[in-house]
Structure 1
Amino acid sequence: MLASGSKGNSIFISDGNTAVLLDAGLSGAEIERRLKSRGLSPADLDAILVSHEHGDHIRGVGVLSRRFDLPVYMSRKTARAGSSRLGKIHDSMIKHFECGAEFAINTLKFRPFSLSHDAEDPAGFTVRQNGTKIGIATDLGIATRMVKTHLKDCSLLILEANHDPEMLMNGPYPWHLKQRVRDRTGHLSNQESKELLAEIRHERLSHVILAHLSETNNTVRKALSVVGEALNHCKTRLSVARQDRCGEIFKVGG
């Protein structure tokens, strides 16, 4: 996890042969700096994958694609909705996917699935390689049956735990923004994340990373405490992705 939160999101995924950046919501320079801090470079990437068109997910996509000749994978609706933020990317560098249809980027297999979020065509993803499956769902207002189905049987989960409802309602956000966060197309609360995790946990789930925590309406302690209740008596490790620094890098299938 290079970054996670409302100021920018980016996930580095690699199996040692293929390297993909899922979202690039920081500036190109900041993503390059964070990769360098882990001994990596954008030149090591094979592609950028885009979940949806909000600025905290695509801010650095265009500049990285142009500077390092990186193909960008996204849905057609996301490409249209995000065109002004992306800038000019040559048609040959844009690769379209459809939710529900698996595609491969070299040795990694991705399956996008639809999320309930206030974007044109928001997607979560599963990634498979050598029998290992990771699931990623970080911007969603509700966990639908389809989301639960896709996130089953993962070895690693990256899951949204955006807010504490009491902090949100008593906090400084204007009412319309509080409603947006709580809406079915908004963001999962700690409690909702816990309920989802309780349904899909299994003995081979080794690690859950909580993502997209609000700096205003949540705390690391609250998120870990509430969501952790779903993992009582389990060996699954629980951690939190941060906005201000890189987290661990996981090698898929390694």
Structure 2
Amino acid sequence: MNKNTSSEKSGKPSDIKLCMLASGSKGNSIYISDGQTSVLIDAGLSGVEIERRMKANNLVPNNLDAIIVSHEHSDHISGVGVLSRRFAIPVYISSKTQKAASSFLGRIDEFKIFECGTGFNINGINFHPFSLSHDARDTAGFTVTKNKTKIGIATDLGIVTTMVKEHLKMCSILILEANHDPYMLANGPYPWPLKQRIKSRSGHLSNQDSKVLLQEIVHDNLEHVILSHLSETNNTPEKALNAVGCALSCCKARIDVARQDKCGAIIHSS
């Protein structure tokens, strides 16, 4: 059942809008809506904090139709169980991630199981999960499409495969990881094993990695790039924007950095 009320509707009913509720190692969550159906991709803050951030942008938690889980790390699932139980929200999750996360999530009344490589539809919004190289059981990136709008989401990945690039082609909006500056990581306070994990093929993309990816998939109709999952220790918004932004010299797309400490503005696809 669709639970949306007119309080969240703005613009044309078919328009896609999104809001980066949080992004970083302490919690991640993305709100996406077409004005009729609303979902969260990940809920990695407490349920109370996600509700607070949604309400700060006049978004109604009780209107959520689904929570979609990318993988089982705590910074992506901390609030999933609480929100699902409080508002009777079904949880879309892969079978491997469900098994890995089951003890943390607690009781969930309705799971919807997806598999990477097979798309699914929620009330007219199409979601296509694809595999990412990360140290979790079955990490998924997503494309989200409705009419002419396509959103690509690729965070928490150590390498960019040909498959990842294929899925992210011709997106209107891209949410890309730019986790660390290599120099800051190498000379920072993290212990050596953690630095190696971050740099590994199952770790996180650097600013330079994100720039190379964007250079290969940029196109004239790209509207907006959002850099995400920045390390608060091994990166700065300025370094990420300077490194990745030069990949947009041939188009007019806007580029922003998603924050850990507060939610971003609502973005509408044109």
TM range (shorter): over 0.9
SS in 2 for 1:12: strand
In structure 2, distance between residues paired with 1:151 and 1:249: 21
Q: 1 CA distance for matches of 2:268 and 2:217?
A: 22
Equivalent pair of 2:45/2:76 in contact (CA under 8 Å): yes
Superposed, 1:69-108 pairs within 5 Å as 69-90=88-109, 93-108=110-125
Please state how far the C-alpha of 1:88 moved relative to its aligned partner.
1.2
2:160 to 140, 143, 147: 143
Pairwise CA distance, 1:85: 1.3
Contact 2:57 2:265 in 1 (8 A): no
Check whether the contact 1:158–1:209 (CA below 8 A) recurs between aligned residues: yes
| Residues matched between the structures, number | 251
Contact preservation (8 Å) 2:184, 2:234 = yes
TM-score for the superposition, normalised by structure 2:
0.92
- For 1:244, the equivalent position in structure 2 comes to 261
Given candidates 25, 48, 52, the residue that maps to 2:67 is 48
Matched, 1:36 2:73: no
| Distance (whole Å) between structure 2 residues aligned to residue 231 and residue 251 of structure 1 | 20
- From 223, 226, 229, the counterpart of 1:206: 223
AA at the equivalent of 2:37? T
TM-score of the pair, normalised by structure 1: 0.97
Q: Which residue is 2:250 aligned to?
A: 233
Aligned-partner Cα distance in 2 for 1:37–1:155: 26
**What is the root-mean-square deviation in Å for CA atoms of aligned residues?**
0.8
1:45-194 alignment runs, 5 A limit: 45-90=64-109, 93-194=110-211
Following superposition, the deviation at residue 104 of structure 1 comes to 0.4
4+ long deviations beyond 6 Å: none
Gaps of 5+ in 1: none
Give 1:233 shift.
3.4
Residue-by-residue CA offset, 1:95-142 (whole Å, 9 max, x unaligned): 000111110011210000000000000000000001210100011000
Task: Tell me how far apart the structure 2 counterparts of residues 249 and 79 of structure 1 sit (CA, whole Å).
Answer: 30
Q: Deviations over 1:19-62 (max 9, x none)?
A: 00000000000000001101112101101000000000000000
Q: Is the 8 A contact 1:10 1:21 kept in 2?
A: yes
Q: Give % identity.
A: 70
